[in-house]
Structure 1
Amino acid sequence: MKRRVVITAMGLVSPIGHNPEDFFTALREGRHGVRPHTELKLSHSVGWVDADLNKDLPGNQSMMLDRVSKMALFAARQALSQQPLSAEDLTQTGVYLGTGIGGIKALCDAVAGHHNIGPKIVQLVIPAAMPNAPTAHIAQLMSCTQEAQTYATACTAGSVAIGEAYRRIRDGYVDTALAGGTEAMIQPELLRAWEQLHVLCVDQETNPEGGCRPFSLKRSGFALGEGAAMIMMETLEHALARGATPLAEVIGYGVSNDGTHPLRPNPHGQALAISRALQDAKIKPKQVEYINAHATGTMTGDRIETEAIKKVFGDHAKKLAVSSIKGNMGHLIGACGALEAISTIKSLQTKILPPTLHFAPGDELCDLDYVPNKARQLDKLDIAVSNSFGMGGNNAVLVFKAYKE
């Protein structure tokens, strides 16, 4: 018999809040954190984090770690402080973390130092830059002797990490797991690289109507963002035995690959991931009430996701509420799925759906209920889906349920 998997703690740092409560309040109130960077000269406004990431780090660690690890630790410490596990349980807790690119600032600094145009190259650039560095530092914080795994699946990485942790717990490999995603790629060099793909929107701070606006007729792309989110997951039996209160339940996970083109999403591949997640959850499409969409605000991507939803849900698609929070925080690449998971969990707890910001109708191929511009209070919300679709054709979908004994 498969074991029930519940969430008992959450932590995050984001452009719109430095903990889950502030984050969801900003979503509910329709605030965004995409603005010009105050320290870096960038060509676009970005969703950047202004938290003090060094406050709980020893001096030597604050000098050694890349920003991507600092944010992961910030989120992990939050989650670990809520309904905390015993020291013994922590050592047996698996760590599962997704990131798109790892410690890119360390690499950019090393290249600049090599050309004598930036900081001197430090000896520890490789351990700071390696993609599994955030995972390793969290495992060290916990004295973890269980598995500590890193997933680099582009924009699905955070969701994949949560989904793989869910499977490990459900199938009996571990009783507890800390899972999520982190990303810190706001660098001038990376912005220029993203520009070459023609996926970045125009300045959202000075021209909100032309900024990141998923599903809208005149959408032009996304704003790059940064952040991290971690959630503690455990078997229901383990949680209740230690007196922890479940926040929500993970009931399904589905993955697929488009198998077509690394940069052109495919509705068939996305629909496969959604269908597999529903099958894993043992629910029918009509039981889903809300989808937290991947929707980045690109012309093609939002249409493809809408088509995939229609493929899976049929006539029920018109009854679903679908919203995207990327207009609030930007696109956090490997971390977005983890923050969107927390948003979905908070929706299940509060029965409040965050709106799709800056929405204006008109695209005939995006014709679902996108919860436009204003949060929605529901009387009932039991089952919700969180979609993540990434470059390389990777697709990952999570299904969450309001906790009931």
Structure 2
Amino acid sequence: MKRVVITGAGTINALGHTVPETYEAMREGRCGIGELEMRDVDRLAIKIGGQVRGYKADTCFNRQQLALYDRFTQFALIAAREAVKQSGLEFSGDLAAKSGVVLGTSGGGMQTLDENYRSVYGEGKNRVHPFVVPKLMNNAAASHVSMEFNLKGPSFTVATACASSNHAMSQAFQMVRSGMSPVMVTGGSESMLCFGGVKAWEGLRVMSKDACRPFSANRNGMVQGEGAGVFVFEEYEHATARGADILAEVAGFAMSSDASDIVMPSKQGAARAISGALADGRINPEEVGYINAHGTGTAANDKTECAAVADVFGQHADTLMISSTKSMHGHLIGGTGAVELLACIMALREGVIAPTIGYQEADPECALDVVPNEAREADVDVVLSNAFAFGGLNAVLALRKV
């Protein structure tokens, strides 16, 4: 089995349009959640979200490209460009033939879907643009990333709700570790902040109207976000041979299914995924210094996740740090694990633990060190990234300092 390292990272999200901007916002504990700016917002009960602000699509893509790229595809391409540029890789010949892309998304081209439902049902039009299907399909982002960077190897999309990008990155990790591919571009992208997308989430009655406060006793729900996180996963010897700057090593992963309820999380399912990632990476529980939590800000998730961490780590759970950056950038659904992996890399590479902001009241059922409100300097060698999705689908990644 080959070692797998990360040699490039890219993002666009509510905290920043690049990785350095996102790191700066995380260090400052800045909140990217604000009032939604969209059509018919007055008809929504939920009027806040982690929107990407200050973004002008026509400065990144030409008119022909925008006819093909939904907003989630645009975000994936922007993040991929930053990641591939940082990696220093150029894909040609045998490298291009074997390298691929695996991205996660839950909704795919929701903006395109919403706009065209309006057109057909609301405005009574009988025709839509001929590119609607290739624009809204869930694999659109992965396909366009593969085309832009000449990635001709294994390429596909994973859709497992809130665990999509962690599942995608786990699959990319497997491909590099097994020797199938020397390099994989991977991560996730989502743009569900449109009228129909928000309306659908309102129906679940799990949304907050004012803020995302994970682990705080007075939390009242989750907040949607949007954006993308993309990484270059590379075989260790391939990376060192070319003198690449290694950001972190992907040490292990695990997936599990609760097989119990379509929306309510299971402590046992989450614990199996966490302990499985430790076993896969041959990591002792005491080595883990930080966990980037799924931490949605709902009572069901927060209490279940804390209980699972306590079960797996025992007494060590009292000393390790666990935070939810969703408090800052919102819940990116299929793209959330990818953006949150940035907090894990920042912890390993820069010794800064991103905080859980909005924390106001201690919850005895979440009695862990949740790094409340302010970032913290700490030297950690191993970190975990948790993702627990609707449908009971769990994926946990373990990263190690190189």
Residue type of the alignment partner of 2:232: M
2:227 and 2:332 in contact (8 A); partners too:
yes
Residue type of the alignment partner of 1:47: G
Q: CA RMSD in A?
A: 1.3
CA separation in 1, counterparts of 2:361 and 2:97? Answer: 51
Q: 2:84 aligns with which of 80, 84, 93?
A: 80
Say which SS state the counterpart of residue 297 (structure 2) adopts. coil
Say which SS state the counterpart of residue 59 (structure 2) adopts. coil
2:295 and 2:324 in contact (8 A); partners too:
yes
CA separation in 1, counterparts of 2:320 and 2:123? Answer: 53
Moved more, 50-59 or 178-187: 50-59
1:71 aligns with 2:75: yes
CA separation in 1, counterparts of 2:372 and 2:97? Answer: 44
CA separation in 1, counterparts of 2:231 and 2:56? Answer: 21
The residue number in structure 1 matching 2:246 is 246
Residue type of the alignment partner of 2:106: G
The residue number in structure 2 matching 1:206 is none
CA separation in 2, counterparts of 1:85 and 1:191? Answer: 38
What runs of 5+ residues in structure 1 fail to find an aligned partner?
A: 204-210
The residue number in structure 2 matching 1:26 is 25
1:116 shift after superposition: 4.6
1:273 and 1:395 in contact (8 A); partners too:
yes
1:184 aligns with 2:162: no
1:41 shift after superposition: 3.5
The residue number in structure 2 matching 1:14 is 13
1:145 aligns with 2:152: yes
CA separation in 1, counterparts of 2:219 and 2:99? Answer: 42
The residue number in structure 2 matching 1:323 is 323
1:46 aligns with 2:45: no
Runs of 4+ in 1 over 4 A off after TM superposition: none
The residue number in structure 1 matching 2:114 is 108
CA separation in 2, counterparts of 1:86 and 1:311? Answer: 45
Residue type of the alignment partner of 1:113: S
The residue number in structure 2 matching 1:96 is 102
Say which SS state the counterpart of residue 190 (structure 1) adopts. helix
2:323 and 2:370 in contact (8 A); partners too:
yes
Residue type of the alignment partner of 1:148: S
1:274-285 correspondence runs (5 A)? 274-285=274-285
Say which SS state the counterpart of residue 162 (structure 1) adopts. helix
Residue type of the alignment partner of 1:355: P
CA separation in 1, counterparts of 2:388 and 2:314? Answer: 20
1:109 and 1:121 in contact (8 A); partners too:
no
CA deviation profile, 1:163-220 (whole Å, cap 9, x unmatched)? 11111111111110100000000111121111111111122xxxxxxx1100000101
Moved more, 117-126 or 316-325: 117-126
Residue type of the alignment partner of 1:131: N
1:181 and 1:229 in contact (8 A); partners too:
yes
1:53 and 1:74 in contact (8 A); partners too:
no
CA deviation profile, 1:28-66 (whole Å, cap 9, x unmatched)? 101111111234343321111122233232320112211
CA deviation profile, 1:372-394 (whole Å, cap 9, x unmatched)? 1111111x210011101100000
Say which SS state the counterpart of residue 328 (structure 2) adopts. helix
Moved more, 301-310 or 99-108: 99-108
Q: 1:165 aligns with which of 172, 176, 180?
A: 172
Residue type of the alignment partner of 2:392: G
Residue type of the alignment partner of 2:322: V
Q: Quick one: percent identity of the two aligned structures?
A: 38
Moved more, 251-260 or 87-96: 87-96
1:128 aligns with 2:127: no
Residue type of the alignment partner of 1:153: T
Cα distance change, pair 76–190 in 1 and its aligned pair in 2 (3 A): same
Residue type of the alignment partner of 2:51: W
1:281-320 correspondence runs (5 A)? 281-320=281-320
The residue number in structure 2 matching 1:208 is none
The residue number in structure 2 matching 1:201 is 208
The residue number in structure 2 matching 1:215 is 215
Residue type of the alignment partner of 1:250: V
TM-score, length basis structure 1: 0.95
Residue type of the alignment partner of 1:57: F
CA separation in 1, counterparts of 2:240 and 2:63? Answer: 38
Residue type of the alignment partner of 1:122: H
The residue number in structure 1 matching 2:394 is 395
Moved more, 256-265 or 116-125: 116-125
2:96 and 2:153 in contact (8 A); partners too:
no
Residue type of the alignment partner of 1:82: Q
Residue type of the alignment partner of 1:46: G
1:59 aligns with 2:60: no
1:241 shift after superposition: 1.2
CA separation in 1, counterparts of 2:96 and 2:18? Answer: 22
Say which SS state the counterpart of residue 193 (structure 1) adopts. helix
TM-score, length basis structure 2: 0.95
1:229 and 1:338 in contact (8 A); partners too:
yes
Residue type of the alignment partner of 2:9: M
- The count of residues paired between Structure 1 and Structure 2 equals 394
Say which SS state the counterpart of residue 162 (structure 2) adopts. helix
